[in-house]
């Protein structure tokens, strides 16, 4: 089963403007499937997961590329053959005005981005293909919230829920044992496993590196390094705090969100979909799902996410702030089906501080059955409508 991805339009636009396009993202998020279904009929294809192809490319880059003549080509998992990039650069420069000839995919962001920036700067568009968005999943019909949270957004368990437990166990094990060791020389794998589990337990909370250091028994620099590793591997997203003075933004702690709710549910040992939604982690799982949906809306449009959160000294908070069409848009995220006046306090305070001329009244994303107008111009929006609202705002 193939669900058309929202990135496909951005991909075609990038192909019309750049000689090469790199689609990066986490493993098994659908990068190869996207290219093969949307573009594949017009392109030759080679995967560097194949050790024979990888050895050929590493030993004789020009001979490898000569095999395909003038045909457009998909090079899958290019991070395994970085030696090919200088030869690719020379061929691009010989025919600089031919756009959309080379399509690349890659999963490991640290090394991949360094190699690409050194070899193909100005010649390649870089797009992020993340797991399914909510709207992509809802494109195949109505899905209950607990099912999306339980099965997650990776294509395999989302489309084939019966595989969920085995798939998640294998995915986490493969990530820890294969990808991590290739990205960083982590000596204490047990401590790193504990770090990943702790990140899941602190999903949707402020990232306190000192707290992580105490819990895992590793140094502060190691904690920050591992958090960067999870970010580069598309397992974790750090949402920065909002300040009027942008220069102060780096002095406060970000909020931590794991990209996929199924991994959170799995590593926090939730017993069932219903228990995950109704239990202590329910609000955090719901908030994370909405925040990551906003991230995906930006990346699917080929944009860097312009997202923040805000917290006052007396504890008022706005879960998400977007840069909209000339104004800031504050968003509160609550699992409730019955909006209460206290749910609006953070939105009201933030708008006063930001200035009504600079800030929209805001929205409350929750489980109301239909859109409702609340006091102070605030709108209660059903969670199912949030993805379409995001796309309209960003586009």
Q: What residues does each domain of the chain span? A: 7-128, 134-300, 307-394
CA-nearest of 342, 336, 345, 301 to 322 is 301
CA-nearest of 93, 95, 125 to 20 is 125
State how far the Cα of 270 lies from the Cα of 151, in Å rounded to an integer.
Answer: 12
The predicted structure's pLDDT at residue 246: 42
State how far the Cα of 53 lies from the Cα of 63, in Å rounded to an integer.
Answer: 12
DSSP E strands in 20-63: the ranges are 20-24, 44-47
Task: Give the pairing type, strands 317-323 and 328-333.
Answer: antiparallel
Q: If phi over 0 gives left and psi between -120 and 50 gives alpha, with beta otherwise, what is residue 376?
A: left
Segment 112-118 long-range contacts (CB within 8 Å, at least 24 positions apart): 112/22, 112/24, 112/78, 112/79, 112/82, 113/24, 115/79, 115/82, 115/85, 116/22, 116/85, 118/85
DSSP E strands in 198-327: the ranges are 205-206, 236-239, 255-258, 307-311, 317-323
Q: How far is CA 245 from the centre of its chain?
A: 27
DSSP E strands in the chain: the ranges are 20-24, 44-47, 73-76, 102-106, 124-128, 205-206, 236-239, 255-258, 307-311, 317-323, 328-333, 363-366, 372-373, 379-382
State how far the Cα of 215 lies from the Cα of 222, in Å rounded to an integer.
Answer: 13
CATH for 134-300 is: 1.10.10.10
> Tell me: the pLDDT tens digits for 158-191?
999 999 999 999 999 887 777 776 667 777 888 8
What contacts 276, CB < 8 A, 6 or more positions away?
146, 149, 150, 265, 270, 282, 285
For the 7-128 domain, the top CATH level (class) is alpha beta
Tokens of 377: 């111009």
Largest Cα span, the chain: 68
The predicted structure's pLDDT at residue 109: 64
Q: Residue written as tokens 């590493």?
A: 58
Q: How far is CA 7 from the centre of its chain?
A: 13
Same fold, 7-128 and 134-300: no
Strand partners, 76: 47
Record the pTM.
0.92
Q: Which residues in the chain show pLDDT less than 50?
A: 246-251
Tokens of 389: 């609202």
The predicted structure's pLDDT at residue 111: 66
Helix axes 84-94, 109-119, angle to 10 degrees: 40
């Amino acid at each position: 089963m193939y669900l058309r991805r929202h990135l496909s339009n951005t991909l075609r636009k990038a192909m019309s403007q750049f000689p090469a396009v790199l689609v990066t993202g986490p493993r098994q998020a659908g990068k190869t499937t996207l290219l093969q279904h949307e573009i594949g009929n017009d392109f030759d294809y080679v995967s560097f997961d194949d050790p024979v192809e990888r050895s050929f490319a590493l030993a004789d880059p020009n001979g490898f590329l000569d095999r395909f003549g003038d045909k457009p080509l998909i090079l899958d998992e290019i991070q395994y053959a970085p030696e090919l990039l200088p030869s690719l650069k020379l061929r691009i420069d010989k025919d600089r005005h031919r756009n959309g000839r080379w399509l690349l995919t890659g999963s490991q962001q640290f090394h991949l981005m360094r190699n690409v920036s050194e070899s193909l700067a100005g010649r390649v568009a870089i797009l992020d293909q993340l797991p399914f968005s909510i709207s992509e999943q809802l494109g195949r019909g109505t899905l209950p919230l607990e099912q999306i949270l339980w099965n997650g957004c990776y294509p395999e368990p989302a489309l084939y829920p019966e595989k969920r437990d085995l798939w998640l166990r294998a995915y986490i094990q493969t990530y820890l044992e294969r990808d991590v060791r290739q990205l960083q020389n982590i000596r204490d794998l047990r401590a790193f496993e504990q770090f990943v589990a702790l990140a899941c337990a602190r999903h949707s909370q402020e990232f306190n590196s000192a707290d992580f250091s105490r819990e895992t028994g590793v140094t502060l620099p190691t904690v920050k390094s591992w958090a960067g590793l999870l970010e580069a591997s598309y397992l974790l997203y750090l949402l920065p705090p909002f300040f009027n003075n942008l220069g102060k933004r780096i002095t406060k702690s970000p909020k931590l969100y794991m990209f996929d709710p199924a991994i959170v549910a799995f590593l926090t040992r939730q017993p069932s979909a219903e228990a995950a939604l109704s239990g202590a982690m329910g609000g955090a799982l719901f908030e994370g799902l909405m925040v990551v949906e906003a991230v995906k809306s930006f990346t699917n449009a080929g944009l860097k996410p312009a997202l923040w959160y805000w917290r006052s000294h007396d504890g008022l908070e706005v879960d998400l702030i977007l840069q909209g069409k000339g104004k800031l848009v504050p968003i509160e995220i609550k699992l409730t089906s019955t909006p209460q006046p206290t749910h609006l306090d953070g939105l009201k305070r933030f708008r006063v501080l930001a200035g009504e001329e600079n800030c929209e009244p805001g929205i409350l994303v929750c489980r109301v059955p239909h859109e409702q107008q609340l006091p102070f111009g605030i709108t209660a929006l059903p969670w199912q409508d949030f993805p379409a609202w995001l796309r309209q705002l960003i586009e």
